[in-house]
Amino acid sequence: KPTPNKNKARCFYCENPCHYIADCYKKKSDDQKNRENRNYYQDQNSQSSHYRERDNRSYRNDRSRSR
């Protein structure tokens, strides 16, 4: 198999010449930002679900006492 000529290469992500998507710094940077954002939102969601669970538990306990 012939090796691809990087002089004619074009990145499919940023469309800059001379590199492939595997070597694209913009893609790596964007992927890192997306990963950080996803982790932030997952942390926020897990925290809020923890509070919802606690609130639901206290609500159930209050209802059982009132009977």
pLDDT at residue number 13: 94
Domain ranges of the chain: 37-67
Indicate the pTM of the whole model: 0.44
Q: Per-residue pLDDT tens, the chain, 67 aa: give them.
A: 556 565 677 899 999 998 999 999 999 999 999 988 887 766 666 655 555 556 656 656 665 665 5
pLDDT at residue 25 in the model: 95
Handedness of CA 20, 26, 30, 36 (dihedral sign): positive
Interior CA angle at 18 toward 26 and 31, to 5°? 15
